[in-house]
Structure 1
Amino acid sequence: MNQYYGSDWDTGDMEGLVSIGSHKLYLSASGPERLAGEPIVLLMQGLGSTIDEWVAVRKLMLPFARWLNYDRSGMGRSESLAQMPESISAESVAAELDTLLKNAGIAPPFIIVGHSWGGITSRELLNLRPNDIVGMVFVDCNTESYFDDGTWGLEVFEPMMGGQDFSQTTGLATSHLLSKDEWKSFYNEQMNERHQKTEMAEYQGVKTSGRALAQKRQLENLPLNNQPVSVIIADTSSDFQRIYDCGVAAGKGTEEERAVYLTHLARLREKSEDWQCELLKLSRRSRAVRVKCGHNVQMLQPQPIVQEI
């Protein structure tokens, strides 16, 4: 794979490894030529996710906007740190991306698209680059309220989930809009041992990352002023209901574990939309859009994401 440093990422189809000092991250750019001062759309995926999940969105984007995506450390086409940390924070993800953009020579402004945990990492990037971001699209994103509430954790999730294939259980495997080869690439990456170790390290940093972001009081300070913000809200609770139903059918969980799961699921169903709507406070120009699908909107209903961009 080519290694790029200081190349022109604003024209043509570009991809390669870019050094951030300790190791190299995979970066790709495509779409129309970017003129001076025009924004470029920058993708920040969810926990344990790579750019393989976003091919359907990218295809719809290419006719009208420059698209930039990368794989985080230890995932996809990117290299790993020499030593895997036990916990990966959203702050460290944003710092690595900040270095990547600088070393690649990619100038602002940026429109950020964040999904799931990307709602936290993208706001840490906003904290680092408050003047460089001219719009944000949050796709079924986490907020600090998820972690203050303590709605989900492996202790709740695993007793009912253990042994299940998430994509099969939630219907993603049969409802996605990826080609056969695209799905194979996505699925194989998810099953990769290195990927899974990195995902677990990211998971270990989730709650502390949410609390660290809350301390910055971003939602109180209107950091994007009049720059547009879109909040796309999906029906994630339906995914977790399917996991519960499948777990019960398979005899998973004690009565107590099932009761705890249902309590947390009810809380998620009640509060998820309210929590996500808190993101509207980032700007005076913000709106919420609701879609009728599960959490992985990028593979199920890419069009609303493209519309908001």
Structure 2
Amino acid sequence: MDDTIELSEWETCGERDALVPIISSCRLFLSVRGPPRKANQPVVICESGSASGGNGWFTLARLLAPHVRVYYYDRAGTGSSDTSNMARTASNMAAELAELLSMAHIRPPYITVAHSYGGLITRELLARFSSDAFAGMVFVDAVQEKTFETLQIPYGVFSILFENMDFFEVTGHNRDHRLTPEEYASLMAPDENAKANKIAEKEQALFTESSEALEEKRQFETQPLGQRPVTAIAGNCAGAYCLMLKDAAARDIGSPEERAEFEAFVKRVKASTEPLQREQLRLSTSASSRFIQGGRNGHYPQWTEPQLVADEVLLMFGAAV
């Protein structure tokens, strides 16, 4: 960003939360925290996992805000954002994010932080910009194009074994998260869960299509980030799944065959988590790229180990300014 370019209101305002109209005729709820942007400084763009709004980034934003400007938003159909008439493919959601950044006049360079399915979305965003639009990418237990084919998630068994389970209680997230009580309550609110269930069905139906579309771009071969670094942080989904399976067995939920099918899935998760996460480092040629194994159970390091995520973002920010 040239020193002579006048910075926009969204780049210089104080803490702000507002609906922003985008070209496809829906409004997305955008939030910003942190100091006013200086010319040429990167800003952080957070992308949530499937059917999730921006409120899962509260703790990370709080850690980053003293140092760097950070944006998070509710994807269409989540939180305070409108629904969209576009199919919920990763490519379409990346298009909506690109429109949001354009309409709010938030210019590159970006450091993206993507959780879970957000990994596909930020990878599709990468395809819409030149490589110098990014100062780095942080993946937080993120999905990549081979994830669903490799894991073969047994959704039917999930629904049988865990239909009435309090996932966040069993896996320790209720205990280990680092959000305030009010922030965590907003994540767990019944109306938020009802919205999430509706949008999850639409996104899940297109997981395979989105994965195949991204794979066709061959980003691991073309390495579009060049020398910009990548960090891949793995959660401990296998550990969480083991706790869930133990709970189901203790309550005698599901047949032995169904529990055995889920055990086989957990073995696939254990075997593939690190290789799938490490492969994302191939987006870049930087020697600074690295894989980090999170230490706690579960899929949400940004909730349970937010400082780990923040440290990686700040390293990238410090290297870019």
If the TM-score is normalised by the length of the shorter chain, which range does it land in?
Answer: over 0.9
Instruction: Pick the aligned partner of 1:302 from 287, 302, 306.
Output: 306
CA shift, 1:232, in A, is: 0.8
Aligned to 2:317: none
Answer yes or no: is the 8 Å Cα contact 1:189–1:195 preserved in 2: no
3-state SS of paired residue (1:144): coil
Counting only pairs closer than 5 Å after superposition, residues 212-231 of structure 1 correspond to structure 2 as: 212-231=213-232
Q: Which amino acid aligns with 2:172?
A: G
CA shift, 1:202, in A, is: 1.5
CA shift, 1:50, in A, is: 1.6
Distance 2:160 2:292 in 1: 33
Answer yes or no: is the 8 Å Cα contact 1:76–1:189 preserved in 2: no
**5+ long unaligned stretches in structure 1:** 1-5
Runs of 4+ residues deviating >6 angstroms:
none
Pair 1:63 & 2:59 matched: no
**5+ long unaligned stretches in structure 2:** 1-6, 314-321
1:109-167 residue CA offsets vs partner (Å, 9 max, x unmatched) = 11000011111111010011133122000111111121222431412422221111211
3-state SS of paired residue (1:94): helix
Aligned to 2:237: 236
1:200-246 residue CA offsets vs partner (Å, 9 max, x unmatched) = 21222222211221111111111101001111112111111111111
Aligned to 2:255: 254
Aligned to 1:130: 130
Distance 2:51 2:193 in 1: 11
Aligned to 2:120: 120
Distance 2:227 2:42 in 1: 16
Aligned to 2:20: 18
Aligned to 2:108: 108
CA shift, 1:20, in A, is: 1.2
Matched length: 301
CA shift, 1:189, in A, is: 5.9
Answer yes or no: is the 8 Å Cα contact 2:154–2:262 preserved in 1: no
3-state SS of paired residue (2:60): helix
CA shift, 1:32, in A, is: 1.0
Distance 1:123 1:117, change over 3 A: same
Counting only pairs closer than 5 Å after superposition, residues 91-170 of structure 1 correspond to structure 2 as: 91-131=91-131, 132-170=133-171
Q: Which amino acid aligns with 1:91?
A: S
Distance 2:91 2:48 in 1: 15
Give the TM-score, by structure 2 length: 0.90
Aligned to 1:209: 210
Pair 1:41 & 2:51 matched: no
Distance 2:43 2:191 in 1: 28
Answer yes or no: is the 8 Å Cα contact 2:151–2:268 preserved in 1: no
Distance 1:223 1:214 in 2: 14
Distance 1:282 1:98, change over 3 A: same
Aligned to 1:185: 186
Distance 1:17 1:7, change over 3 A: farther
Distance 1:277 1:225 in 2: 17
CA shift, 1:39, in A, is: 0.8
Answer yes or no: is the 8 Å Cα contact 2:117–2:143 preserved in 1: yes
Distance 1:122 1:36 in 2: 23
Aligned to 1:3: none
Pair 1:74 & 2:82 matched: no
Distance 2:197 2:160 in 1: 19
1:237-296 residue CA offsets vs partner (Å, 9 max, x unmatched) = 111111111111222222221111111110110111111100010112211111201211
What RMSD in Å do the two structures reach over aligned CA positions? 1.6
Distance 1:74 1:281 in 2: 32
Distance 1:78 1:282 in 2: 31
Percent of counterpart pairs with the same letter?
35
Moved more, 181-190 or 211-220: 181-190
Give the TM-score, by structure 1 length: 0.93
3-state SS of paired residue (2:266): helix
